[in-house]
Structure 1
Amino acid sequence: MKKDPCGTLFIVSTPIGNLADMSHRAIKTLGLADCIACEDTRQSKKLLDHYRINSSLIAYHEHSSAKITDKLLTMLARGRNVAVISDSGTPLISDPGFRLVYRARQEGYEVVPIPGSCALIAALCVSGLATDRFSFIGFLPSKSLQRKEALKGLQKFGHTVICYESPHRIKDTLCDAIEILGANRNAFIAREMTKMYETYLAGNLGELANLVSCDTYQQKGEIVLVIEAPNECREISLEAERILLLMLKEFSVSKAALLTAQITGLAKRTIYKKALDLTDR
């Protein structure tokens, strides 16, 4: 790690459960950092002790005052390197660290990512749901009324949606999702990923709600919920769109939609709707 006149801010990903997932570069970066800003110093100390890292820690979380941000920026100004980590996974995803990054960039400091684990991406990749277009919405509201309003907003989404959920709310969230989105909407639950008791549940919302209600172990640990777009507005993949564009050059809209549906396995109605959108451009 090169010492410039000004320090560098490193955004360092840490494991989401399995310590073997920590990269060599992340370990080296944390070991050479002059200071590590973290959500919970007690939690992070366990990680650092495991890798015999002795860098100093400073608590930096959603309740931290602006003075902590100023302190970290002062360290950078004095040529010290600062690393930011979260309790697990990639920092700044569903936490307030972006304010520090924004200030650092505004003041001309270098900000460097050290990539690694990210729960939402890990869950999406094994969900079997469409991955070419998706939205991450963080945590849904804790109260049912506000949560239902947020779910209503998802009805217009034509792509996969991912959210984090707390274990004591997952059962109620699934019930609210069924009421707003329908029991037949496909979804996926990843729980305690990379840990000893990790589980993965796939099915529609009705099936998942039943599985979670009948098994209290599914109401424990860290949870990622992935929800598929509704059939009538699901966006086709980029590859399917490429095939459709080729077909539209040779055939009518109806024929192109039929052939694309046969090749991709997607519903002809979905392909036909997309074909109409493309020909209207």
Structure 2
Amino acid sequence: MNIQKSYNNESGKGKLYLVGTPIGNLEDMTYRAVRILQEVRWIAAEDTRQTRKLLTHFDISTRLVSYHEHNKHASGPELIRLMESGDDIALVSDAGLPAICDPGADLARLAIEAGIAVVPIPGANAALSALIMSGLPTERFLFVGFPPRDAKPMEQELATWRREAATVIGYESPHRIVKTLTRMAEVLGEEREVCLTRELTKKYEEAVRGTIRECLAYLVDHPPQGEYCFIVRGGAGDGGIPEETAWWTGLSPEEHVARYEADGLDHKEALRRAAQERGVPKRELYNLLHQG
């Protein structure tokens, strides 16, 4: 067990601040983020060149160090050593919140294991910004990051979305968005509702809302530009398939879990999803399947 008191630290160790930065519009930088970046001893950045532009704009002179996917195994332990000696460090990504789809999550875990406080400094986030402007249900959502590139893993991933009640949020590059939407149409059906957003918070911000078929047709006449965030309506629940006609109706609990495992999920995740859809505790379903 790990209990953190973020602002009652008597260990003498520094803190790791996870600082949100703008995803396009510099006006989205918070006063608190600027202050923290000014006060910490070090700023660990995914791309120091990109971050230096941000620091120059806000007249922040804190020393920059590099921390990214390719040097995290060497840089991470060194950053932990600095915090153990009392230095506060701010971690930033190229844009948005660090530790989401980037190696910042690994540094946060190392810090927690070392007894170092991990403090979030909230800011802009592309996924949630896209969700709230999509017009699709927000009560429950699943963030999937970038979909797999290879065909078979992609098909397995999409098969789980077909039965996912929550709204699905993900990222895709302009070079792959058409291929990804085409595969969605094949697995989810071309009439599934989606929203494609790009250039969030910038001058050319755009949201394309419609069915997968309609969005694919739009991209034929308007070639993709910029990184996309896609929002996909869930396959059941509010506005989706009525509960009485849910895909798993008529399946036994064992068959329900087995169907997810056939889609490539491990037993633990298959159990979690089946329990969620049936509205029962995971432990209850586990006991039912493994009794005797």
Please give the range of the TM-score, normalised by the shorter of the 2 chains: 0.7 to 0.9
Q: Hey, what's the Cα distance between the residues in 2 that align with 1:214 and 1:128? A: 24
Instruction: Tell me if 1:222 matches 2:223.
Output: no
Q: Hey, what's the Cα distance between the residues in 2 that align with 1:212 and 1:59? A: 37
- Tell me, what secondary structure is at the counterpart of 1:88? coil
Counterpart in 2 of 1:71? 78
Q: Hey, what's the Cα distance between the residues in 2 that align with 1:56 and 1:66? A: 21
Structure 1 runs (4+) greater than 6 angstroms displaced? 1-4
Structure 1 residue 147: Cα displacement? 2.1
TM-score (norm 1): 0.81
1:1-281 correspondence to structure 2 within 5 Å: 5-216=12-223, 219-230=224-235, 234-236=236-238, 270=242
Cα separation, partners in 2 of 1:19 and 1:73, compared to 1, 3 Å: same
Q: Hey, what's the Cα distance between the residues in 2 that align with 1:129 and 1:65? A: 37
- Tell me, what secondary structure is at the counterpart of 1:10? strand
Query: Residues 142-171 of structure 1: CA distance to partner in whole angstroms, max 9, x if unpaired?
Result: 234432332122111111101000111111
Structure 1 residue 273: Cα displacement? 6.2
Q: Hey, what's the Cα distance between the residues in 2 that align with 1:228 and 1:151? A: 13
Cα separation, partners in 2 of 1:272 and 1:154, compared to 1, 3 Å: closer
CA contact (8 A) 1:167 1:220 kept: yes
TM-score (norm 2): 0.78
Query: Residues 44-101 of structure 1: CA distance to partner in whole angstroms, max 9, x if unpaired?
Result: 1111111011111111111114221111011101211100000000111111211111
Q: Hey, what's the Cα distance between the residues in 1 that align with 2:234 and 2:46? A: 33
Q: Hey, what's the Cα distance between the residues in 1 that align with 2:144 and 2:190? A: 21
CA contact (8 A) 1:135 1:159 kept: yes
Q: Hey, what's the Cα distance between the residues in 1 that align with 2:9 and 2:185? A: 54
CA contact (8 A) 1:8 1:109 kept: yes
Q: Hey, what's the Cα distance between the residues in 2 that align with 1:55 and 1:85? A: 13
Q: Hey, what's the Cα distance between the residues in 2 that align with 1:120 and 1:166? A: 14
Q: What code does the residue aligned with 1:147 have? A: M
CA contact (8 A) 1:3 1:79 kept: no
- Tell me, what secondary structure is at the counterpart of 2:196? strand
Query: Residues 88-132 of structure 1: CA distance to partner in whole angstroms, max 9, x if unpaired?
Result: 001111112111111111111111100011110000001111101
- Tell me, what secondary structure is at the counterpart of 2:242? helix
- Tell me, what secondary structure is at the counterpart of 2:86? coil
Identity level (%): 37
Q: Hey, what's the Cα distance between the residues in 2 that align with 1:189 and 1:178? A: 14
For structure 1, list consecutive stretches of 5 or more residues without a partner in the other structure: 237-265
Structure 1 residue 271: Cα displacement? 5.7
Q: Hey, what's the Cα distance between the residues in 2 that align with 1:59 and 1:171? A: 34
- Tell me, what secondary structure is at the counterpart of 2:124? coil
For structure 2, list consecutive stretches of 5 or more residues without a partner in the other structure: 1-6, 250-277, 285-292
- Tell me, what secondary structure is at the counterpart of 1:130? coil
CA contact (8 A) 2:195 2:209 kept: yes
CA contact (8 A) 1:135 1:162 kept: yes
Counterpart in 2 of 1:261? none
Number of positions where the alignment pairs a residue of Structure 1 with one of Structure 2: 244
